[in-house]
A and B are shown apart, each in its own frame.
Chain A
Amino acid sequence: MKKNIFAILASGSLLSITPAFATTQAEDIAALKAYFAERWPNVKDGDMSNGAYSLSEDKRINWESMRDFPPYEDHLAIGEEIWNTSFKNGNTWASCFGDDPSKIRNRFPHWNARDKKVETLEGNIIQCQKANGEEPFKAKKGKIAYFSAWLASQANGQTINVVVPQDDPDAVAAYEAGRQFFYAKRGQLNLSCADCHVYQSGYYARGNLLSPVRGHTTHFPVWRGKWARSGGDGFGTLHRRYGGCNSQVRAKSFKAHGKEYSNLEYFHASMSNGMTINAPDYRE
């Protein structure tokens, strides 16, 4: 059974049309929106931030009942406490991020033209700790996720607009590297992110309904039932999810906040431009 599903997945798109290589960010977003609009005429673009639950009524009912009593409230409170705690050197988080916590999440990911790299929220949290002589958080779960989730919750309702400065060839190259990562088949199962989250979205793989890429990043960090069951709590960052999705196709995952995943996030988050932040959220 497992094999069958992956054979279908590996055989590629059921709806594949002749390749048309979109070049700019705006074209990529427009092409994806058009693709999903044709594929899911009854699903509103904005609802796709609810992931797989936007595609299945049954799944949605379970999920909505889970959200009535969110399991992550206590962890969000820890996130707020982190924001309010000064470093040992007396500095505060505001020294890195400015003093309005509602104006942080939506600035990421962004291009840092001076250092010629993509910056992510969690990457900069760690950078801020290092710059202040603090022991940095672990990269993918625990406090970094609570803190990031609280910051995201402060930005709820804001419209995502990841900017790729088209006049900066290095920024464009980073975006394109992220796009290549998303569309490249990897691992022993020879599947790309797009195979599962574009072409096969709405189908099941190993009992999981596959979500569309549009809306993927609006609600991160997420609290996953599966992560909660695997020891610890359920919170995880976007790069934790990247690692899991690489590993399930038997590809080696990359370092969280390294160049590969940061570039991927630059592209991936761009694909949710125009949607609103709704974080954190529950996933099964």
Chain B
Amino acid sequence: MKQLLSTVLVALLAVGMISSALADEAAYKKLHAEAVVANDKAKEAGGEWRDARDKKSKFIECGDKKMSILHAAECYAAKGDYKNAMKYAEMAKSQGELGYQQAIQQKNAGPRH
């Protein structure tokens, strides 16, 4: 009886862990997709920033490599580190949004002398 109980407990725990990992992955994927959309929008407006997702960027470290913010998100996600993956996906998204806003604000930029 005791044995059965602990088996059930272990099983429940395992299911819980798996489902929370799945939830993390799903949340990360959603954020990643939003980051891509935000940066596509910035690009369209001519306002992309250097480190958000450019392949040449060496801004964030993951493992022994340096890369763009969105690439770092992907790199951490591949390791199962969703905490960092989410952090960088959020950062890349916010850079996309800010780059877009900046480009729109500067649309009529001209001399001020």
Q: How far, in angstroms, from A16 to B102 measured CA to CA in the complex?
A: 21
Q: How far, in angstroms, from A250 to B95 measured CA to CA in the complex?
A: 11
Determine if A188 and B51 form an interchain contact, defined as CB atoms under 8 angstroms apart: yes
Determine if A186 and B112 form an interchain contact, defined as CB atoms under 8 angstroms apart: no
Given the contacts A35-B113, A188-B51, A180 and B107 also touching, CB distance less than 8 Å = yes
Task: Produce 1/0 per residue, A183-226, CB < 8 A to B.
Answer: 11111101010100011000000000000000000000000000
A residues near B50, Cβ cutoff 8 Å: 187-188, 246-247, 250-253
Determine if A186 and B102 form an interchain contact, defined as CB atoms under 8 angstroms apart: yes
Determine if B54 and A183 form an interchain contact, defined as CB atoms under 8 angstroms apart: no
B6 contacts A by Cβ under 8 Å: no
B residues near A198, Cβ cutoff 8 Å: 111, 113
Chain A min CB distance to B96 (Å): 11
B80 contacts A by Cβ under 8 Å: no
Q: How far, in angstroms, from A16 to B111 measured CA to CA in the complex?
A: 10
Q: Which residues of A in the span 42-90 have a Cβ within 8 Å of any Cβ on B?
A: none
Tier of interface size on chain A = 20 to 34
A residues near B51, Cβ cutoff 8 Å: 188, 250
Q: How far, in angstroms, from A214 to B28 measured CA to CA in the complex?
A: 49
Tier of interface size on chain B = 20 to 34
Q: Which residues of B in the span 39-70 have a Cβ within 8 Å of any Cβ on A?
A: 43, 46-52, 54
A91 contacts B by Cβ under 8 Å: no
Closest chain A residue to B39, Cβ basis: A252
A residues near B110, Cβ cutoff 8 Å: 19, 21-22, 179-180, 183
B3 contacts A by Cβ under 8 Å: no
B residues near A194, Cβ cutoff 8 Å: 111
B residues near A188, Cβ cutoff 8 Å: 49-51, 95, 98
Chain B min CB distance to A195 (Å): 10
Task: Produce 1/0 per residue, A1-45, CB < 8 A to B.
Answer: 000000000000101110111100000100110010000000000
Closest chain B residue to A27, Cβ basis: B111
Determine if A251 and B49 form an interchain contact, defined as CB atoms under 8 angstroms apart: yes
A residues near B43, Cβ cutoff 8 Å: 252
Q: How far, in angstroms, from A8 to B112 measured CA to CA in the complex?
A: 17
A-B contact pairs, 25 of them (CB 8 A): A17-B113, A20-B112, A20-B113, A32-B111, A32-B113, A179-B111, A180-B108, A180-B110, A183-B112, A185-B102, A185-B106, A186-B47, A186-B103, A188-B95, A192-B106, A194-B111, A198-B113, A247-B50, A250-B50, A250-B51, A251-B48, A251-B49, A251-B50, A252-B50, A253-B50
Residues of A within 8 A of B (CB): 13, 15-17, 19-22, 28, 31-32, 35, 179-180, 183-188, 190, 192, 194, 198-199, 246-247, 250-253, 260
In order of increasing CB-CB distance, the 6 nearest A-B pairs are A184-B106, A184-B109, A183-B109, A252-B48, A250-B50, A35-B113
